[in-house]
Amino acid sequence: MTEIAIIGDRFMLPEAFATALRRAVGREPSLRTLELPWPDEPMVHGYAGSGLEGLKEYQGDPEAIVDFVAGAAILVDHLAPITGAMLDRLPELKLIAVSRGGPVNIDVVAARQRAVRVVNTPGRNASAVAEFTIAAILVETRLIRAGHEALRRGEWRGDLYRADLTGTELSELTVGLIGYGEIGTRVVRLLKPFGCRILVCDPYKQLSAADVADGVIMSDFDTLLAESDVVSLHARVTDETRGFLAAPQFARMKAGVYFINTARGPMVNYDDLYPALKSGHVRGAMLETFWQEPPPQDAPLLRLDNVTLTPHIAGASTTTVRIAARMAAEEVRRWLAGEPPLNLC
């Protein structure tokens, strides 16, 4: 019987993977499970260049991972790292199903060189992040954070009803989305009923026919920055996007803009965002991801009163768990059946 190693954590529970595999395979597979302590303990972020052989986000000791996986033909994984050196010690391994939108904890090139198939689960948390983005936009534009924090201090801010302070409804705003992938397209879908003007910037995508018919506009980058009342980031970290939102881009944004980042921290120069927020040129920001995670407790950006902060939880939902486990299990079923993969990396 084919040996399947499962490495989950306290979000992507090993048993969620195991349950999905049993349903997909239609029989009792030979499983072994390991649970990592994320998110109670932070993962390693290698975006600054200090990662394990170039891996971007991962958790787990390589030696312990190799010992656990040894002898298995299939690895179902969430955060555990797999490098070329580790693969050299796992000759039986033929398939890695990683339950993430991007396999940033796997050396995909090394796997390909060793004839190990790597598949992933794109879009598994797209709905969760899209919902979260809409909430973030409303929190900022309708001054929900300002009212909440004042009441916590025992202060009744009736002045937030003043015409010169209160927020504008989404129906009168222009919302610009940078990135039109799985998440960006869902954010567009959720924004439409609000009646706002929607701009999208993504040089590698074309608008769907439905979005064109509904008046969504494909924009160039500079126009989006200049015309948007809300700028929401939904791109991926690449050499092209790393640090591409910095002082010049914040300066091009409309005065009083709101900035939302539910994507990844390395795309934003936070040192440049700080003075833009401090001056009020960027009226408010909702920051879900950071230059390092967790960010330093004494970081000045965390002390600004016009910033809403969350600890990288936009994709956290039990729906995400079920979708990711089901997608990974289907890839395993297809490999066992000799069928082509759905999401080959």
Query: Quick check: is 45 catalytic?
Result: no
Asked if residue 105 lies in contact with residue 56, where contact means CB atoms within 8 angstroms, the answer is yes
Q: Which residues partner with 133 through β-bridges?
A: none
CA distance 52 to 24: 33
Provide the 10 A C-beta neighbour count for residue 314: 23
Asked if residue 156 lies in contact with residue 150, where contact means CB atoms within 8 angstroms, the answer is yes
Cis bond upstream, residue 311 (ω within 30): no
At 275, list the tokens.
């003075």
Query: Quick check: is 264 catalytic?
Result: yes
Asked if residue 92 lies in contact with residue 72, where contact means CB atoms within 8 angstroms, the answer is yes
Catalytic residue from among 124, 186, 234, 264: 264
CA distance 8 to 318: 14
Closest-CA residue to 195 (of 218, 174, 225, 176): 174
Catalytic residue from among 140, 312, 326, 331: 312
Query: Quick check: is 339 catalytic?
Result: no
Residue type, 197: R
DSSP 160: G
CA distance 231 to 179: 11
Q: Which residues partner with 5 through β-bridges?
A: 32, 75
Three-state DSSP class for residue 199? strand
At 87, list the tokens.
């693969």
Catalytic residue set = 264, 293, 312
